[in-house]
Amino acid sequence: MITKKAEYAIIALADLASLQFGRKTTTREIVERRDIPANLVAQLLSTMRDAGWVKSIRGAKGGVYLLKNPEQITMKDVIELIDGPVNITRCLLQSMPCGNKLSCPLRDVWKKAQKEMLTVFEKTTIKDLAEKID
């Protein structure tokens, strides 16, 4: 399941990508523009900084900016960074033993839906989303 935290991370990255590349902004400005809880934005930016996607500079002339090209960050990348592997249902997880795997009428449907969902997430970049931000 995709968490609200992952959604906020995608929105925060799209916000950064909507700015001129390399332009700094503040956590407070992201919070105000996108209505994301301030403590969560700080936490998410820290995780994205550790991944090498953003850079933050402390101080009066500091701020945060996108370090990685937004065309190279997909929705799937962000979701997996925040939530771990993306699965439409726990039935498809290797760690979830199920005695009905071979006879379950839903399994093939879940597999197809999972594949299509991942395709959409892999093809949708942060740049694509940034272009839709007002």
- CATH number, domain containing residue 88: 1.10.10.10
Tell me which residue range forms the domain holding 31. 4-130
pTM for this prediction = 0.88
pLDDT digits (tens, 9 = 90+) for 4-59: 999 999 999 999 999 988 899 999 999 999 999 999 999 999 999 999 999 999 88
Q: Domain tally for the chain?
A: 1
Cα separation, 120 vs 113, whole angstroms? 11
Residue 125 burial class via C-beta count within 10 angstroms: exposed 0-12, middle 13-18, buried 19 and up: buried
Which of these, 51, 57, 47, lies nearest to 22 by C-alpha position? 57
CB atoms under 10 Å from CB of 98, counted, come to 12
Give the integer Cα–Cα distance in Å for 76 and 34: 21
Which is more confident, 114 or 60? 114
